[in-house]
Amino acid sequence: MKKKSYLSSVLLLIAIFVVVAVISQQFFLRFDLTEGGQYSLSKASKDILSDLQSPVTVTAYFTADLPPDLAKVKRNFRDMLTEYNSLSHGNVVFKFVNPNGDQTLENEAVSAGVQPVLFKARDKDEMKQQKVYMGAVVSLNNKTEVIPFINPEGSIEYDLTTAIKKLSVENKPMIGFVQGQGEPPLQAYQQVLAELDVLYQVSPVTLSDTIDDINKYSTLVISSPTDTFNVEALRVMDKYLNNGGNLFIAFNAVTGNLQTLSGEKVKTNLADWLAQKGIQVENSLVLDANCGNVNVSQQMGAFNMTTPVKFPYLPLVSNFTDMAITRGLEQVMLGFPSPISFGGDTAINFVPLAITSENSGVQPLPLVINVQKNWTRDDFKAGEQVVAALFEGNFGNRPARMVLVTSGDLAVNGTGQRPRQLQPDNVSLMVNAIDWMSDATGLIELRTKTITSRPLDQLTDGQKATIKWGNFVLPMALVIIYGVLRWQWRRKQRTKRMEEGYVK
């Protein structure tokens, strides 16, 4: 009887495992307890996958024997592809290929655009360099997109979803970068264009030359103008906005000239045009105690030493309104921004996007820039200042949107042999704003899904004093309390021992 009972239990257990295995082949389920849902697919990815009409093939080129940290990336990528396959109802198929050791497969990977990377690995207590492949090729019909290297610190979901979206999208919305008022050329936005090219057709546009077809652009970008807009250009901008167009504007009303060490008003009439709509951009500069550095050269004897110096005219902004454009951003550096305020029609919704810290100041023109000034708290008494904002509502016949940032070089890399590399959040702020106004797929949240940094929270002087005195007084107070309690306990013990009939 016991044998039959034991055999029944074993058979039941085997049956449960078989049923679970069969169900797991049909359904993909996992629990994500990470901050920000790093292992959970976003609604954007799910929507794009569910809309696929043709099969997408992903060929993943991964080295077989990877170091533990990189092997984890391979597992995560395989798990994600499994989930993509399930959510797309089988329209995402994949295979893993090991190019190492097979010259034909290695040539195939390299010719497809997947390049090997050298990593240091430990083998039998010896460090050696290992050539590894960690890339993928995504194919749809006769089109391909390459992910040359899957960055362990990047967003795998963003790379994969955008590659699929880029292949499956047919009619890309158009984004126009306005030219003709001293704006940087299109090639000066390398990082921005790399992001926008996924979903959009980007082209330069001269306002006075495109009166009849200006509305074909989902969003117009006005970035870092240095000259005035003529009457015709302003009329076209009004017409575009009145008909429900979207504008992204990044410009300096005032800038700092480090050659003359003075603040100068930029010769553009954008501030006057915005003022007609109730949007005020002051002719002053915002200072912030939380700021970036500039390099200052000093002669030290026979040597010329370069040292970084805090420069409050370069605020490091980490205070953002929680909405799609700014969600996931952690820190943006703005150059010579001005305060923004709104006193226009109540039909326009004013949403501050980026706000400086409470330790901020405002300097009106005329002003002299002293790079080596010894800044004090009296210079930062103006409180928080809005330096980027969203305006949404009826500017004319139809609802329209406008995003304004008072820093023209927000996302400009520049041209020439050595363009400057921008921190990712600067680029994300500009691209997110354009995405939010132009596209409804929701890929914005993927771009900033991966946490890149954790800047320390800024403390007020009062909080710093409280922590300092707490660290000084609290240990002594605990020692005294412990001593008093121990003294009382020992006194009770002595009293108890003096009582008649006490037995230890």
CATH number at residue 132: 3.40.30.10
Spell 45-72 as b/e; 16+ CB within 10 A means b. bbbbbeebeeebebbbbbbeebeeebee
Shared-domain flag, residues 187 and 326: yes
pLDDT digits (tens, 9 = 90+) for 119-131: 776 655 666 677 8
Mean pLDDT on 362-381: 89
Question: Confidence band (pLDDT; 50, 70, 90) for 33?
Answer: very low
Residues 217 and 148 in one domain: no
Residue 26 has pLDDT above 60, yes or no: no
pLDDT of residue 59: 95
Q: What is the mean pLDDT of the chain?
A: 85
Q: Which of 10-19, 263-272, 287-296, 370-379 has the lowest mean pLDDT?
A: 10-19
User: What residues make up the domain containing 62?
Assistant: 20-167
Q: Is the pLDDT of residue 226 over 90?
A: yes
The pLDDT assigned to 328 comes to 82
Is residue 464 in some structural domain?
A: no
Percent of the chain with pLDDT over 90: 47
Same domain, yes or no: 199 and 298: yes
Q: Output the pLDDT for position 451.
A: 44
| C-alpha distances in Å from residue 69, one per residue of 33, 159, 456 | 20, 19, 27
> Residues with Cβ < 8 Å from 291, sequence gap 6 or more?
310, 311, 312, 313, 314, 315, 316
Give the model's pLDDT for residue 356.
Answer: 97
In this structure, the answer to whether residues 187 and 158 fall within a common structural domain is no
Q: Please say which residue of 132, 167, 202 terminates a domain.
A: 167
pLDDT of amino acid 124:
59
Band (pLDDT 50/70/90 cuts) for residue 42 is: confident
On whether both 231 and 275 belong to a single domain, the answer is yes
HSE at residue 465, side-chain half, CA atoms within 13 A, is: 3
List, for residues 174-214, the tens digit of each pLDDT value: 999 999 999 999 999 999 998 888 789 999 999 987 655 88
- Please check the confidence at residue 23 and state whether its pLDDT lies above 70: no
Q: 55-113, pLDDT tens digit by residue? A: 999 999 999 888 888 888 999 999 999 999 999 999 999 999 999 888 999 999 999 99
> CA-to-CA distance for 73 and 296, rounded, in angstroms?
42
Residue 54 lies in a domain: yes
pLDDT digits (tens, 9 = 90+) for 427-457: 999 999 999 998 766 666 666 565 444 455 5
Q: Is there a single domain that holds both residue 144 and residue 212?
A: no
Q: How many domains does the chain have?
A: 2
Q: Is the model's pLDDT at 502 over the cut of 90?
A: no
H-state helical runs in 386-441: 424-438
CATH number at residue 366: 3.40.50.880
Answer yes or no: do 153 and 201 share one domain: no
Rounded to the nearest 10°, the torsion over CA 46, 50, 55, 60 is 10
Whether the model clears a pTM of 0.75, i.e. scores above it, the answer is no
| Count of CB atoms situated within 10 Å of the CB of 316 | 18
Whether 163 is covered by a domain: the verdict is yes
* 360-378 average pLDDT score: 89
